Amino acid sequence: MSPIPTQAGSGRTSARTRSLFLAALRFLVIVATTYLGLLAVTFFIGRVIPIDPVLAVLGDRAPQRVVDRVREEMGLNLPLYQQFFIYVKGALQGNFGTSVLTTNQVMDDIRRVFPATIELATLGTIIGALFGIPLGVLAAVKRGSLADQIVRIIGLIGYSVPIFWLALLSLVLFYAKLQWAAFPGRVDVVYEYSFTPVTGFYLIDATMQGKWDVLWDLIRHIALPAALLGYFSLAYISRMTRSFMLNELSQEYIVAARAKGLSETRIIWGHALRNAAVPLVTVIALSYAGLLEGSVLTETVFAWPGLGLYITNSLQNADMNAVLGGTIIIGSVFIAINLLSDLLYRTLDPRTRTR
């Protein structure tokens, strides 16, 4: 009688292993397909834009023989499918060519400027989550009240008003008029060489080195752009929190909890919000990804030396290697955060594991 349960257990283990293998394989196929699509889009955009990369390097007055030689060296004389293969191979190796603007390898430039974007987007997401979640909960609990209408108007403005317009308006008000904010940029020239950048994240570097005057100057510079990005993140997070909470507050377990005499505070924060937190993880992750890729205008207005400003300056100087390299990096990060949020959702919500 003993071999039967052993065989049954072995069969269940085999089925579970097969299921995990298929899920991992499906995950890898999705990642590969999405990334290949990103590379294809950026490649063909680079070929469609009426900017000759050879002339961008040599200038308009270069002799034709030099133009032809450089075109051959860059592989632009090859058929389109061969160019795409070379492009994909280089991108997978982190080789996006040389920047015309800085004469550095594009990947080296990205390593230098991307920490500034991550620092700004991270603070913006933290601000958005800290204020957006309580506002969303308040709007759901006070549905139809004045508080609910105010929260919805705040979110509507965040969705509707162009970010560059708010950025310019905030500079006029908080820098030019009230003089609360520091001059656009990441750090004042006085403190630029007062500490040694190690990680590339200036707030962390200044704290680790005990440069408190530099840290305060960094905070003054990042406060306004981070608050602006945080407001747009708040608009999205508060709206989704309100929607999730309204759904949870209408569930039967909330009625049962109230019937048991639990306090309203415990019901809202201990039960309803706890269940709504699972999809909120995905919302916050997507908001973070959106700030990473959507901070171009904010960085341009505030002269923030991040990836967005780097791409903008490169585009203005017809530096397509830098533009496409930065676009691929942002797209790759967005894909990674999307997949990570999906994985977290499946991990936190046991119901999705059976799908």
Contact 24, 18 (CB under 8 A): no
Q: Which pLDDT score is estimated for 238?
A: 92
Q: How far apart are CA 246 and CA 276, in angstroms?
A: 10
Q: Which pLDDT score is estimated for 353?
A: 53
Query: Which pairs from 51-57 meet CB under 8 Å and 24+ separation?
Result: 51/318, 51/320, 53/320, 53/321, 56/100, 56/317, 56/318, 56/319, 56/320, 57/100
Q: How far apart are CA 72 and CA 110, in angstroms?
A: 27
Nearest CA-CA partner of 271 in 255, 292, 290 = 255
Does the pLDDT value for residue 333 go beyond 80? yes
Residue 226 — very low, low, confident or very high, per pLDDT cuts 50/70/90? very high
Q: Is 105 helix (H, G, I), strand (E, B) or coil?
A: strand
Q: How far apart are CA 203 and CA 181, in angstroms?
A: 17
Compute the mean pLDDT over every residue in the chain, rounded to the nearest whole number. Answer: 83
Does the pLDDT value for residue 9 go beyond 80? no
CA distances from 176 to 168, 169, 172 (A): 11, 10, 5
Architecture of domain 106-354: Orthogonal Bundle (1.10)
How confident is the model over 333-343, as a mean pLDDT? Answer: 81
Q: Which pLDDT score is estimated for 290?
A: 83
Does the pLDDT value for residue 22 go beyond 90? no
Cβ neighbours around 131 below 10 Å, total: 17
Q: Which pLDDT score is estimated for 12?
A: 65
Q: Tell me the per-residue pLDDT of 61-115, one tens digit each, with 9 for 90 and over.
A: 778 787 778 777 777 777 888 888 888 888 888 888 888 778 888 899 999 999 9
Backbone dihedral angles phi then psi of residue 155, each to the nearest 5 degrees: -65, -40
Does the pLDDT value for residue 1 go beyond 50? no
Q: How far apart are CA 165 and CA 171, in angstroms?
A: 10
CA 274 to chain centroid: 25
Determine what percent of the chain is predicted with pLDDT higher than 90. 21
Which range has the top average pLDDT, 219-228, 294-303, 332-341? 219-228
Q: Tell me the per-residue pLDDT of 117-146, one tens digit each, with 9 for 90 and over.
A: 999 999 999 999 999 999 999 999 988 899
Find where tokens 């632009």 sit.
76
Q: Which pLDDT score is estimated for 351?
A: 59
Q: Tell me the per-residue pLDDT of 169-223, one tens digit each, with 9 for 90 and over.
A: 888 888 888 888 888 888 888 888 888 888 889 999 999 988 999 999 999 999 9
Contact 283, 236 (CB under 8 A): yes
Q: Which pLDDT score is estimated for 5?
A: 53
Instruction: Name 327's Cβ contacts closer than 8 Å, sequence gap at least 6.
Output: 42, 311
Q: How far apart are CA 151 and CA 158, in angstroms?
A: 11
Backbone dihedral angles phi then psi of residue 105, each to the nearest 5 degrees: -65, 135
Does the pLDDT value for residue 280 go beyond 70? yes
Q: How far apart are CA 117 and CA 115, in angstroms?
A: 5
194 is written with which tokens? 């007062």
Find where tokens 């306004």 sit.
224
How confident is the model over 15-40, as a mean pLDDT? Answer: 78
